[in-house]
Amino acid sequence: MTEAQFTQLVFQFLDHAIREYGDYLYMGLVFAAIPPIGWILSRGFRQKRPQLHSFVSILVVRPPPPPIPPPMIRPERVPFASDDENSFSA
């Protein structure tokens, strides 16, 4: 049996299995994918950090924030003579 004949037999078997049992294969793969998806979403790929990290973060002291500057007091605007409501410049 040559490699091409063996490949042809494998593909015929897979085509027949999918044609006959495709619905069951699909549902089985869907249910089999739920645990890996849950593991990935629960940070499964992250490395475990040592407990020393949380202890060191407690010892870090942050300086207090800088004080808020006082508000700027602006002088009120002095109106010009041409600013009255009845004047209309053309």
Asked whether residue 66 is assigned to any structural domain, the reply reads no
Please give the model's pTM, rounded to 2 decimal places: 0.41
Cα separations (Å) of 1 from 10, 14, 32, 72, 87? 13, 19, 35, 92, 105
Asked whether residue 4 is assigned to any structural domain, the reply reads yes
Domain count, the chain: 1
Asked whether residue 88 is assigned to any structural domain, the reply reads no
Domain limits at 26? 1-47
44-88 pLDDT, tens digit each:
767 665 555 555 555 566 778 888 888 777 767 666 656 556 555
Token pair for residue 27? 């549902």
Asked whether residue 69 is assigned to any structural domain, the reply reads no
Spatial contact of 89 and 82, defined as CB atoms under 8 Å apart: yes
Token pair for residue 71? 């508000």
Spatial contact of 18 and 25, defined as CB atoms under 8 Å apart: yes
Of all residues in the chain, what percent are helix, strand and coil, respectively (each to 5)? Answer: 55, 0, 45
